[in-house]
Structure 1
């Protein structure tokens, strides 16, 4: 199937609207910003994973040359903030809960002076018992990370107890009966690591205060409106007095969804009575940012003699670190990825998010995706090999098809999974799964959501044909807003080059839920379509009497209104201020069966996408090093609004997934990060990855603009499982832990001790 091809711009390889200034070096990132009187902020962070603060003395620091402000918890509102649980504070108050937690901050004339002052702050800590393993944290006798957890405000859906911040369950049929009827039952444990989002630009912010007591922050954020709400909580102001302006973003991948250093910049600015810039160092990024949660995944699957799945039971334990962050929602969505894109009559899956005294974790591209998929798809190959069934065939016997129900009971439509599997397998030459010694091929498939919620846009059409699209969404490097502009240009009958995109300002832009969850082109594009309806209506009413026709026959194209063989250019129809309209899109609720869910925060997915990855690799017999020869992604994108940037997202996402599969891990020992630098935290380079081959499969959804589905997150989901399956095919040894380093591969082969 394929999408519409009659559009002028939608579906075409339009050049990115934000590309030229970035290529020319003209784009102003947060680090490039400077204003008169700008001070530099530095944060003092705890060296202990769990300790009581017995004494905190800032007197020496406050009188040092160039120091303009020193603040601690005693100088800021005694409030808590958080996404689902308000458990975090701007600075540690009486107790630190992880090594890297903010304890104080300094603003000074120079960065060097601020760092010297931070080093002069005296803190006496009393270490207290800590817990670093999420499974241990669930024990009744485990030290409590938050002894006062019951006092926190939290979303009503959460089921909390001690170190457990929530538990979400999917329950379908009767798993015990399913296992009783099974020919074989397979039980396995898989573990995944903390991984950083790897954005090029660190988190940063510049804070200002106005005479009326309101504040402004320039921020390298993906979600200006969410940061506005969190800052309001953190600084004790109504949100109407907090303005967030998103600067050009040097990558986000989910790591910049929530407050990073914005609260420190704003509060330092208030104390110093001057603008303050705070930018994270590389060490801070790796010790106090929000990496992907590590997880322990137990999964038990029963199958019949033909490999059809009769029952699946599983538990995912997510280590959210010292604060809950996005963990509660991620734990729920992980049950969907562990379920996989398969028809299973009997299911019992549980996702648990857990506090530990490790660094706080958060969202990273397709939160939960690689975690659940790694376990699900690795076990699918184990089952296939045990039963003597080809792994591709086993998947084809079990996958979702059109009209099937997902785990929550939602009816699935536009399901392109079978085509994805077959095309990926064909591209990799699947008929030779083990083409030589120490060489193997792997395949994995999955599904993912298109995040919904609300997007608003303001569209102004000027008399010269220029169109200004103002959106609260942020262009995070995906080209998604160029895609939305293509949708708008088509519907208004103007050239895509005539559309200018502005926004990302909570004062001057309409609301947007944010650049996250593969939603921007989908939701902003739909808002643009609704704005175009309003614009066409307004222009038709204006043009109808001029052209002597009824409004409903007016057409817009080539920057003019046409009707009954006559036309009038926008230049003659519009006044100097043009016409401004607002378009709003809120994704509709997805019908599902609530009886299948218990305290579940991700029940039914909007316009789900389907995908299959395949790889051909070899493993060095002596060293365990992996060489990826070919990597193929077949992804059902619904409809490719801009094929160039769809392909770019798939290529980049696959590379991130390869990094998580083979290299990346924030290593902690007793809560202390051991590799807080980019020498020891290994991300893939151009020498480590092959060219990623993309196959665009298009099964248009009824809900997206021109049938488009979310694109950006899925490509990083399947690489760990795909590579794990190929390593097993090549070596006969399976590595159930991410990353699958050379050492772990050798250990799995029995060449060295684990």
Structure 2
């Protein structure tokens, strides 16, 4: 449930550098800027909580004095900056640690990063003569925009219409409303439509980046390499507000035991208010932070036990039929298949080309997203088809995939199918893009609607083909927009004839699909190869081999594109990106100063689509949108350790950190720590 804790404009207290305090509307941008310059604001400096660990202490200054009045917070609400505390347990960790021959513990930190989209947040609001509201928004969840706008301005949902736009880049950052309510109130005062577009600087100062984290892991293992117990705790700095994400927590907390069979597990996650920039959703919320910690720690344990990192993972990896690390049922566990494919393709164990060349491995999982979606499928009188869906497409190819699904269900060529871009007044409900749910949830509703249309077409064709109605669904097949008897393929009727035979101008069906719990999850193994300059600490990522469990690839090219994009983002997260802050204020709020991974840093990428394990989507597809960003940072970190012998546990892994670590360890020239022959023997 979403927390309601954000004012439209700061009232009495500004909780972070970048919070909106005033808004004006004018006939052009120049006049609006002049008006802003005329506004004078008096500030009284107050104590600020910047350090998340300080914010957690008993007696710490409260960022929100009245948080008990906010809806959406778990009850009972305690007067503390820790606004949400979640736990997951299985077995008895004390017993598990007692059974261990060795207990290891380490802490990992990850930084705050921006989603890196090019297109800024934008909105237009128009108020009609009857007071009804029309919103054009760059948000990828139009029905959520409608409900939140109606709630904020005190109108029935029926009086608010949201027209979705082409979102452009998103990566989790465009799932909540930003300036739409301000546009409404300005439009009401001005009597004219109002448009607001965030500047690049505003995007960095007041958007919703990825949460920074502090993660502590503790593991008990036997000398033979079996993990007996696992304890994890995570602190997520949520910044000044919690409502910049649609739920109170992040899914990443549950990922803090990885993809491994562990009998005793205890995980805790805490979400903390500070006076920093509020954080929200970023591709696979919370998962890259968890993956970096878990997969780095797995390599550290393997090194302590003198076991090859791949073999250590293989020994402890989940298999189909196992429960998840936190004790939940999972279906189609395919992690070992991705490990085998990645190791074989990458040549794990091969001789290194030079002393400072390293190779690292990391695994991850992410469930298919859940939610609700409805779709209408229509076959017209000429045999063409339309899809009406509220699903948005923030550059993921979702609309193409929905057309492919309907094309396959109806056996109609893609060029004969049109998907309609419609608003919240015209489209059936869709929960919105995010969480890797679109192919699964929207795809299932479109597939089911198409199959209902197909049934009616078959029933109509039965009369024309002189087939008994009760046997029609079994005896009649479809192909290329025609219906025919399986026993006499030459005897056929077109879809146009079937529509006419039904006495209609079109045949239409609407279906709703809803799923709130998912037993299917998706697995991946990434192997990174890097070369490190020990004098400068410069890391060149040479090659990434990425094996992804995908169930069935509806659109292989789109799936590979998602994997490649996630890998590039993961490299940025691991090596380059950080929103640098001084006293809570972002000091590099431009794309000139904020280092994204560009084609210059992007490596050779080999993608492997592992099919076979059944997924919940149409044709047993699994989701692919978010998982590729998760295993990259730890795979690169592990490869750096393999290359020069130093372990960096604080992201991003800058050249300065590598050089300093080499000096502190006495390995200033760099030293490879794992021999190729040992890797080859392990494989």
Q: Normalization by structure 2: what TM-score?
A: 0.93
Equivalent residue, structure 2, for 1:554: 476
Q: CA offsets per residue over residues 18-51 of structure 1, 9 Å max, x none?
A: xxxxxxxxxxxxxxxxxxxxxxxxxxxxxxxxxx
Query: 1:161, CA displacement in angstroms?
Result: 4.3
Instruction: Tell me whether 1:203 sits opposite 2:121 in the alignment.
Output: yes
User: Using a 3 Å threshold, how does the CA distance of structure 1 residues 751 and 113 change in structure 2: closer, same or farther?
Assistant: farther
Instruction: Tell me whether 1:624 sits opposite 2:552 in the alignment.
Output: no
> What secondary structure sits across from 2:347 in the alignment?
coil
Equivalent residue, structure 2, for 1:42: none
Instruction: Tell me whether 1:365 sits opposite 2:283 in the alignment.
Output: yes
| Range 568-577 or range 674-683, more displaced | 568-577
Q: Which of 630, 649, 652 is the equivalent residue of 2:565?
A: 652
Alpha-carbon contact 1:316-1:331 (below 8 Å) kept: no
Equivalent residue, structure 2, for 1:571: 496
Query: 1:543, CA displacement in angstroms?
Result: 2.8
Q: Which of 91, 97, 116 is the equivalent residue of 2:15?
A: 97
Equivalent residue, structure 2, for 1:335: 253
Query: 1:435, CA displacement in angstroms?
Result: 4.8
User: Using a 3 Å threshold, how does the CA distance of structure 1 residues 632 and 686 change in structure 2: closer, same or farther?
Assistant: same
- Structural mapping, 1:210-289, within 5 Å: 210-289=128-207
> What secondary structure sits across from 1:653 in the alignment?
helix
Query: 1:97, CA displacement in angstroms?
Result: 0.8
Equivalent residue, structure 1, for 2:447: 529
Q: Which of 387, 391, 395 is the equivalent residue of 1:473?
A: 391
Alpha-carbon contact 2:251-2:286 (below 8 Å) kept: yes
Q: CA offsets per residue over residues 333-382 of structure 1, 9 Å max, x none?
A: 22222110001111110011111111111001111111101000000000
Equivalent residue, structure 2, for 1:151: 69
Query: 1:648, CA displacement in angstroms?
Result: 0.4
Equivalent residue, structure 1, for 2:586: 673
Query: 1:482, CA displacement in angstroms?
Result: 1.2
User: Using a 3 Å threshold, how does the CA distance of structure 1 residues 659 and 383 change in structure 2: closer, same or farther?
Assistant: same
Q: CA offsets per residue over residues 392-417 of structure 1, 9 Å max, x none?
A: 00000111110000034222222221
Equivalent residue, structure 1, for 2:43: 125
Query: 1:445, CA displacement in angstroms?
Result: 0.4
Q: Which of 575, 590, 604 is the equivalent residue of 1:662?
A: 575
- Unaligned runs of at least 5 residues, structure 1: 1-82, 591-605
Alpha-carbon contact 1:169-1:332 (below 8 Å) kept: no
Q: CA offsets per residue over residues 84-104 of structure 1, 9 Å max, x none?
A: 211112111221111111111
Q: Distance in 1 between matches of 2:351 and 2:38?
A: 61
User: Using a 3 Å threshold, how does the CA distance of structure 1 residues 325 and 434 change in structure 2: closer, same or farther?
Assistant: farther
Q: Distance in 2 between matches of 1:403 and 1:181?
A: 25
User: Using a 3 Å threshold, how does the CA distance of structure 1 residues 733 and 252 change in structure 2: closer, same or farther?
Assistant: same
Q: CA offsets per residue over residues 629-652 of structure 1, 9 Å max, x none?
A: 111111111111010000000001
Query: 1:263, CA displacement in angstroms?
Result: 1.9
Alpha-carbon contact 1:617-1:628 (below 8 Å) kept: yes
> What secondary structure sits across from 1:127 in the alignment?
coil
- Unaligned runs of at least 5 residues, structure 2: 667-683
Q: CA offsets per residue over residues 116-148 of structure 1, 9 Å max, x none?
A: 211211111112111011121111221111100
Instruction: Tell me whether 1:311 sits opposite 2:233 in the alignment.
Output: no
Equivalent residue, structure 2, for 1:515: 433
> What secondary structure sits across from 1:465 in the alignment?
coil
Instruction: Tell me whether 1:113 sits opposite 2:41 in the alignment.
Output: no
> What secondary structure sits across from 2:23 in the alignment?
strand
Aligned residues: 656
Q: Distance in 2 between matches of 1:161 and 1:436?
A: 57
Query: 1:691, CA displacement in angstroms?
Result: 2.3
Q: Distance in 1 between matches of 2:577 and 2:456?
A: 53
- Structural mapping, 1:384-399, within 5 Å: 384-399=302-317
- Structural mapping, 1:340-739, within 5 Å: 340-432=258-350, 435-503=353-421, 505-549=423-467, 550=469, 551-552=472-473, 553-563=475-485, 565=488, 566-574=491-499, 577-587=505-515, 589-590=517-518, 606-739=519-652
Q: CA offsets per residue over residues 687-741 of structure 1, 9 Å max, x none?
A: 1111211011113325221111110100000111011101111111111111111
> What secondary structure sits across from 2:443 in the alignment?
helix
User: Using a 3 Å threshold, how does the CA distance of structure 1 residues 718 and 326 change in structure 2: closer, same or farther?
Assistant: farther
Q: Distance in 1 between matches of 2:353 and 2:55?
A: 45
Q: Distance in 1 between matches of 2:323 and 2:612?
A: 17
| Range 256-265 or range 511-520, more displaced | 256-265
Query: 1:164, CA displacement in angstroms?
Result: 1.2
RMSD: 1.9
